[in-house]
Structure 1
Amino acid sequence: MLLSLTAPALLVSCAQQDTGGTSDAKLAETKIPAKVSPKTTLTIGAPEDRVILKLSGAAEKLPFKVKWANISGGPQCSEAFRAHSLDLCAAAEVPSIHAHWTGLDTKLVAAEVRKDPRRNPIYRLGIAPGAHIDSLKDLRGKKIAFSPGQAQGALVLRILAKAGLKKDDVKLVEMPSTGDVYSTALGERQVDAAPLGDVNLKRYPAKYGKQGGKTIPHGIRDDASHLWAPTESVADPEKAAAIREFVKLWARAQFWAYEHPKEWVEGYAVKDQGLSHDDGVYLHRHNGEPEIPADWGPVIKRHQRTVDLLAKETGQEKFDASTLFDRRFEHVAANALKAGKEKP
């Protein structure tokens, strides 16, 4: 059964919630039932995955009820978690860190990276016409679009660190990173630089290239993505069982999308997102081949580096990044892929 919710119904006040509840030790010892009850319902915010599961036929295999929420990314998912209106969502690495600092108790239950992230990063640094930026060193004194609590914000801080610059050496301009906001701000010269991703990597230089708009590489790994849940959901054995089954289908769906470019382009990029066929083809190639790590050790180390960097730059307290991961789910996605390959 597939129902649909829209974002406005889920967005509520950002008042902090009590983090008291299931301890990490108790959670780690809580056994997830072997079978999921068909009466269990999960509310999931992962719009692209919803389409991919439908296109691949995996949606029919979901052994529980799903309410699909048309939201994704850190800010929207965090607000829905606070409202107890969402059980699972797709997000990058920074939202879980930001949630911890605002008193929101959450866990990461799946991780995905790219096969060749440095060759095919998610973002490039967009440069405004007339900004005179040819390398990261040229960012000194420039206005840079900045979105705290999101992956793009952390990437900006990493870029500054790589360039040997501090926040005081530039002017960070806070603005949301959704849609075409960054590319429009660059084109209108509201900022000098901003991380660009998805089809904006193609569209921005195409639209503003004649005026001098361009993108430059940053040389930093930026490919982490996750399935993210409020701790109250994974602490519920029945919901945890449903989340485990979703993670299995989610992992297979990532590779289905990579291995079926025509179906993904037409079904998701063109029909669902309203992109042109050419933009869809570009985006699929840009996404690259996914990789589902069976060992979360390196993933957690990267997460820790991000925690340490953000803590240093924002004045927040450092904490152990491993507390953000529910390691009961560590091998679920990779084992599902392995089992699929072993089938005749």
Structure 2
Amino acid sequence: MGVLAVSLLLSGCAGEEEAVSGAELAEAEIPESVDPDTKLTIGTPEIEVALRLSGLINELSFDVEWAELSGGPQCSEAFRASELDVCSSAEIPSIHAHWTGLDTRLVAAVFRKDPVSNPIYELGIAPGADIRALEDLRGKRIAYSPGQAQGVLVLRILQEAGLTRDDVELVEMPSTADVYPTALGNGEVDAAPIGSVNIRRYLDLYGPDGGTTIKHGLRDDPGHLWVPTSTVADPEKAAAVREFVQVWARAQIWINEHPEEWIEGYYVEDQGLSREDGEYLVELNGDPDIPADWSGAIERQQETIELLAEATGNESFDAETLFDRRFESVAADAIAEDDGTGGA
């Protein structure tokens, strides 16, 4: 992580620059080749491991400083401090960045091919809560984390169930670590979205007492590469970002096609999970879907903006402004080229 650990303490509003208009960015050409003297600071810890395990890291022709950063708040602060060029994120951070005056763009998108059968989150139900369907949430206490993916999922679940925020009691609490499963088990809330290995651990721990989970039936899987606009407004850095997006896409496919290496190298050795947990997560994650056309992703982002604007009192805005469409087909083209089915 190097300089980032100290610099973020001083982040404040440092590094914020005058916004680059969408028209200016769209018209800016990206150099065909990457200057090897270009340097990017990249915060994608999971992909860094995949690149090292697969050997794809050797395809990067520019200088990289890897940052042990993940999640919207950490990456936003690093962007403000001008200490980070690329970050992995879900759909929410770029929206909140816009509302706080932080100028950023999304340069890659990944989903799951079967998001309803393989959701990232399930709705954990506390023992004795008597919730068997989404409609049963009326009058119940639901863990809620504003500004995080889990918080937006709660809003989507209420919308799906035909309920409003006034029909339930939203209990604000952070969704980090095992906070939600513990709150469920202790009876602090009746329902909470839980994900990853916490799903099976919650059922193992509280299932004997009546704890359950229900699938919400909604797409909850958007993933993106997220950058400060100043990074992609720089032609040399934009070329390096394009190359990283290509390698990032290939890493997504490598992970999917090499489950044994991924379980051992990432989940067991890097994350310290059991092999059983790793096998569970590989099954949970499903196959990646990297679209060449972002129209669907932008439409979904617009729906999320509208939902959050209503919940937070912020003004809605055009989701298109969050995407740098110069990169729209870069990831899909890289995969198609490897498959021999086309590509740029």
TM-score by length of 2: 0.95
Which AA in structure 2 matches 1:279? Answer: D
Alignment of 1:142-153 (within 5 A): 142-153=140-151
1:318, 1:160 → 2: CA distance? 20
Deviates further, 12-21 or 269-278:
12-21
Contact 2:292 2:331 in 1 (8 A): yes
1:308, 1:16 → 2: CA distance? 29
Contact 2:7 2:81 in 1 (8 A): no
CA deviation after TM superposition for structure 1 residue 342, in Å: 1.4
Contact 2:140 2:169 in 1 (8 A): yes
1:185, 1:278 → 2: CA distance? 25
What are the ranges of 5 or more consecutive residues in structure 1 without an aligned counterpart?
none
2:317, 2:151 → 1: CA distance? 19
Does the residue aligned with 1:86 lie in a helix, a strand or coil? coil
Call closer, same or farther: CA 1:48–1:181 in 2, change over 3 Å: same
> % of aligned pairs identical?
63
Call closer, same or farther: CA 1:11–1:244 in 2, change over 3 Å: farther
CA deviation after TM superposition for structure 1 residue 22, in Å: 1.7
Deviates further, 77-86 or 255-264:
77-86
Call closer, same or farther: CA 1:16–1:217 in 2, change over 3 Å: farther
Contact 1:292 1:334 in 2 (8 A): yes
Q: CA RMSD for the aligned pairs?
A: 1.7
CA deviation after TM superposition for structure 1 residue 190, in Å: 2.0
Contact 1:114 1:291 in 2 (8 A): yes
Aligned residues: 341
| Aligned twin of 1:31 | 29
- State which of 257, 260, 285 in structure 1 corresponds to 2:283: 285
| Aligned twin of 2:227 | 229
- State which of 46, 49, 55 in structure 2 corresponds to 1:48: 46
| Aligned twin of 1:126 | 124
| Aligned twin of 2:327 | 329
Deviates further, 327-336 or 126-135:
126-135
Does the residue aligned with 1:149 lie in a helix, a strand or coil? coil
| Aligned twin of 1:194 | 192
CA deviation after TM superposition for structure 1 residue 4, in Å: 5.1
Does the residue aligned with 1:228 lie in a helix, a strand or coil? strand
Call closer, same or farther: CA 1:274–1:127 in 2, change over 3 Å: same
TM-score by length of 1: 0.95
1:186, 1:130 → 2: CA distance? 10
| Aligned twin of 1:139 | 137
2:4, 2:16 → 1: CA distance? 26
- State which of 216, 219, 222 in structure 1 corresponds to 2:217: 219
1:8, 1:127 → 2: CA distance? 40
Does the residue aligned with 1:247 lie in a helix, a strand or coil? helix
Deviates further, 135-144 or 324-333:
135-144
CA deviation after TM superposition for structure 1 residue 301, in Å: 0.6
2:209, 2:10 → 1: CA distance? 42
Contact 1:41 1:67 in 2 (8 A): yes
2:22, 2:200 → 1: CA distance? 43
Which AA in structure 1 matches 2:20? Answer: T
